[in-house]
């Protein structure tokens, strides 16, 4: 199927894009890589009158070093996040997770900002961004504001980005030298996870951050597990007790891929695997 007719705008600056959004209001839809938006338009689940393509705004693309953080432009592709040297050094977890998104073709088009703005609870980048304490820079008519990861994800497909705002970049605090692993459980190779766990650890193990994908309507932190991992030894026995706490406070969906209690079981098992692999054990 093909989308319903729409007008197409291709702004070349963030200011232009924001003013186009202001002008067209909720009749307009932002397009980043289009890898989630175009399927929605083709299925005619949504029919905006105006599509505003961010593809021509070069300032939104790329990754830079900014002291205690790296800054990832919203239009940087999954492919480039996976391969970038700064990501490898300072936020390895994002590289591991980006490698697991969809397939090679979709990773060439889909963007870091687009995936986070889309906020699919089964999306692979939310949990790692949350675990790393990312900050989201959002531009609107009144200027830019910064939102903490804990406040960014609001609900299913809903974020702190307002209708007249654009996500421009994501600041990721440096976790230099931390080990990382993204453990994704799928039925079909290049699809969204039934459950996935994002783990990154300092030493083996001094400190840990653990994020959960598809265990609720937003990405979640496994806080009890994180606390229990501080000072744990990176062995099967050492992490088992901490991993047992991974599903605490979660309310995962029940669907054709699995019931809620099965997902909670998966979260515990996958957390153990993810933490051990992150610690290099």
Ligand X SMILES: Cc1cc2nc3c(=O)[nH]c(=O)nc-3n(C[C@H](O)[C@H](O)[C@H](O)COP(=O)(O)OP(=O)(O)OC[C@H]3O[C@@H](n4cnc5c(N)ncnc54)[C@H](O)[C@@H]3O)c2cc1C
Q: Which one of another protein, ligand X, none is in contact with 30 (Cβ closer than 5 to 8 A by kind)?
A: ligand X
- Least distance (Å) between residue 46 CB and another protein: 13
Phi, psi (deg, nearest 5) at residue 172:
-115, 115
Peptide bond into 164 cis (omega under 30): no
Give CA–CA dist 183/178, Å, rounded.
Answer: 16
Give CA–CA dist 173/66, Å, rounded.
Answer: 9
- Return the CA Rg of the chain: 19
- Least distance (Å) between residue 109 CB and ligand X: 6
Give CA–CA dist 112/94, Å, rounded.
Answer: 10
Instruction: Tell me which residues in 107-126 interact with another protein (CB under 8 A).
Output: 108-109
Give CA–CA dist 62/24, Å, rounded.
Answer: 28
Q: Integer distance in angstroms from the first to the last C-alpha of the chain?
A: 48
Residue tagged 């070349």 (tokens): 12
- Least distance (Å) between residue 102 CB and another protein: 7
Q: Which one of another protein, ligand X, none is in contact with 91 (Cβ closer than 5 to 8 A by kind)?
A: none
Between 14 and 38, name the residue whose CB sits nearer to another protein. 38
Indicate whether 269 belongs to the interface with ligand X (CB under 6 A). Answer: no
For residue 84, the number of C-alpha atoms closer than 13 Å in the C-beta half-sphere is 24
- Of 9, 81, 102, 267, the one binding ligand X (CB under 6 A) is 102
- Residue 236: strand, helix, or coil: helix
Instruction: Tell me which residues in 130-169 interact with ligand X (CB under 6 A).
Output: 161, 166-167
Instruction: Tell me which residues in 20-39 interact with another protein (CB under 8 A).
Output: 34-35, 38-39
- Least distance (Å) between residue 104 CB and ligand X: 11
Q: Are 219 and 129 in contact (CB under 8 A)?
A: yes
Alpha helices (H) along 25-145: 37-42, 78-83, 85-90, 92-98, 104-109, 112-118, 126-131
Per-residue binder mask for ligand X (CB under 6 A), 42-71, x = binder = ------------x-----------------
Max CA pair span of the chain: 59
- Least distance (Å) between residue 98 CB and ligand X: 9
Indicate whether 281 belongs to the interface with ligand X (CB under 6 A). Answer: no
Residue tagged 């653990």 (tokens): 210
Per-residue binder mask for another protein (CB under 8 A), 53-92, x = binder = x-x-----------------------x-------------
Q: Which one of ligand X, another protein, none is in contact with 269 (Cβ closer than 5 to 8 A by kind)?
A: none
Indicate whether 10 belongs to the interface with another protein (CB under 8 A). Answer: yes
- Of 29, 79, 181, 268, the one binding ligand X (CB under 6 A) is 29
Indicate whether 51 belongs to the interface with another protein (CB under 8 A). Answer: yes
Indicate whether 30 belongs to the interface with ligand X (CB under 6 A). Answer: yes
How open is the CA angle 213-46-144, to the nearest 5 degrees?
65
For ligand X (CB under 6 A), the number of binding residues is 31
Q: What residues make contact with another protein under the rule CB under 8 A?
A: 1-8, 10, 34-35, 38-39, 41-43, 51, 53, 55, 79, 102-106, 108-109, 189-190
């Amino acid at each position: 199927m093909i989308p319903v007719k729409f007008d197409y705008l291709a702004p070349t600056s963030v200011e232009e894009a924001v003013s186009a959004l202001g002008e067209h209001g909720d009749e307009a839809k932002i397009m980043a890589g289009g890898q989630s938006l175009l399927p929605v338009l083709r299925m005619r689940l949504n029919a905006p009158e105006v599509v505003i393509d961010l593809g021509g705004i070069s300032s939104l693309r790329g990754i830079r070093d900014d002291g205690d953080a790296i800054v990832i432009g919203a239009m940087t592709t999954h492919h480039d996040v996976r391969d970038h040297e700064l990501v490898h050094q300072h936020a390895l977890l994002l590289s591991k997770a980006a490698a697991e998104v969809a397939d090679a073709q979709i990773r060439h088009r889909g963007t870091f900002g687009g995936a986070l703005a889309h906020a699919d609870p089964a999306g692979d980048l939310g949990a790692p961004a949350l675990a790393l304490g990312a900050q989201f820079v959002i531009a609107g008519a009144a200027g830019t504001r910064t939102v903490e990861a804990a406040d960014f994800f609001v609900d299913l497909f809903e974020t702190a980005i307002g209708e007249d705002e654009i996500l421009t970049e994501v600041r990721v605090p440096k976790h230099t030298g931390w080990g990382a692993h993204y453990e994704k459980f799928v039925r079909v190779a290049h699809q969204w996870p039934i459950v996935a766990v994002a783990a990154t650890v300092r030493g083996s193990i001094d400190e840990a951050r653990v994020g959960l994908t598809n265990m609720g309507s937003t990405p979640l932190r496994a806080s009890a597990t994180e606390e229990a991992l501080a000072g744990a030894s990176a062995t099967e026995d050492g992490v088992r007790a901490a991993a047992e706490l991974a599903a605490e406070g979660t309310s995962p969906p029940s669907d054709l891929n699995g019931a809620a209690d099965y997902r909670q079981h998966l979260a515990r098992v996958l957390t153990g695997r993810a933490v051990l692999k992150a610690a290099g054990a």
